[in-house]
């Protein structure tokens, strides 16, 4: 089964988005771009909700959300059932959100990390499996339903 990613973000994330889409595509990952499609100011929930919905309904396996701090997109995405959106600002955190939290969306704070660090975080997220074990029960308690 090939990996699929829903990608989206606001105007702050626009400069990184196409480079990160290329980064994923070069690894054979199928990407659907949910916007934004320019650097014009937009509202991040308008892009975080479609990405989260695509992962929530199984249309896409994983998601990537980009914004200035990544807090807004993470908060928005985590309103969706079955979504575990993790904010990552370095490789170790990117690994841990997969390994311990089974995150299915990575949120990157583009105003605080370089493009190279964003690529390294994304690679770590892709390459790190969920550890399960003692973490499985914790992850099982996340959902409100």
Active site residues: 67, 100
Both tokens of 13, joined, read 């994330």
Q: Which residue intervals of the chain are DSSP H helices?
A: 14-25, 45-56, 71-77, 91-99, 115-127, 134-140
Contacts of 108 (CB under 8 A, 6+ apart): 13, 16, 64, 65, 66, 70, 87, 88, 89, 118, 121, 122
């Amino acid at each position: 089964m090939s990996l699929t990613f829903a990608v989206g973000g606001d105007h702050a994330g626009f400069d990184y988005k196409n480079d990160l889409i290329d980064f994923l595509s070069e690894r054979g990952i199928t990407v659907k771009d949910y916007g934004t499609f320019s650097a014009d100011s937009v509202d991040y929930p308008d892009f975080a909700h479609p990405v989260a919905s695509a992962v929530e309904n199984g249309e896409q396996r994983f998601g990537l959300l980009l914004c200035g701090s990544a807090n807004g997109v993470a908060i928005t995405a985590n309103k969706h059932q079955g979504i575990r959106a993790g904010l990552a600002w370095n490789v170790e955190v990117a690994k841990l959100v997969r390994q311990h939290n089974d995150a299915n969306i990575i949120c990157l704070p583009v105003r605080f990390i370089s493009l190279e660090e964003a690529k390294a975080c994304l690679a770590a997220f892709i390459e790190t499996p969920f550890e399960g074990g003692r973490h499985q029960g914790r992850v099982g308690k996340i959902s409100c339903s």
